[in-house]
Structure 1
């Protein structure tokens, strides 16, 4: 994981982007992953609402799963590589905002005091 994280960090740096957050692929983490992330100054971000959009690839099901799991501080997992997920987003945003939610990025949600190596699943 160290090499992959180093390469990703270098690519982002080349784009002028820095971050202290990482999402382990598939959410696969353990003590070794946490140690590598901590060593590089990154906190791990997982999620507490899994839309399983990669499996269902259905606008309605993805939308229902987000709305059913929504709560203050929720981190929602969706994949923008699936057209049905992208199609679901406008309706999800409208419904969440209508319900009184304010949508923020993960860095905004967690704030500046994330702990390298720690794992966050909600804000």
Structure 2
């Protein structure tokens, strides 16, 4: 039987408590993003010939998305990270750090800021 879905406020409490237990948020983000990438790598056929588009928001899920993009980069033809919103809206140090890591990988990852629906045409 599946449990109930947790609210974002409950996840935030769990994240905060994990720090007190010695598991830093940076590690939580790295593990979450790496697991997403691992799932895609294991289940997507011919990933090396495909372009992967990753949408990242300004919260910690966006940081998870950036981690996934980093891990997918060696396995895909190309990885495109689209930041939805502006960088100054990124909420946590961990998310900013992972976005910067994506930007530093400019050889294998393209990076775009999506601030309006018309910006999506940049991705085509």
TM-score of the superposed pair, with normalisation by structure 2: 0.29
Whichever structure has more strand as a proportion of its residues is 2
Whichever structure has more helix as a proportion of its residues is 2
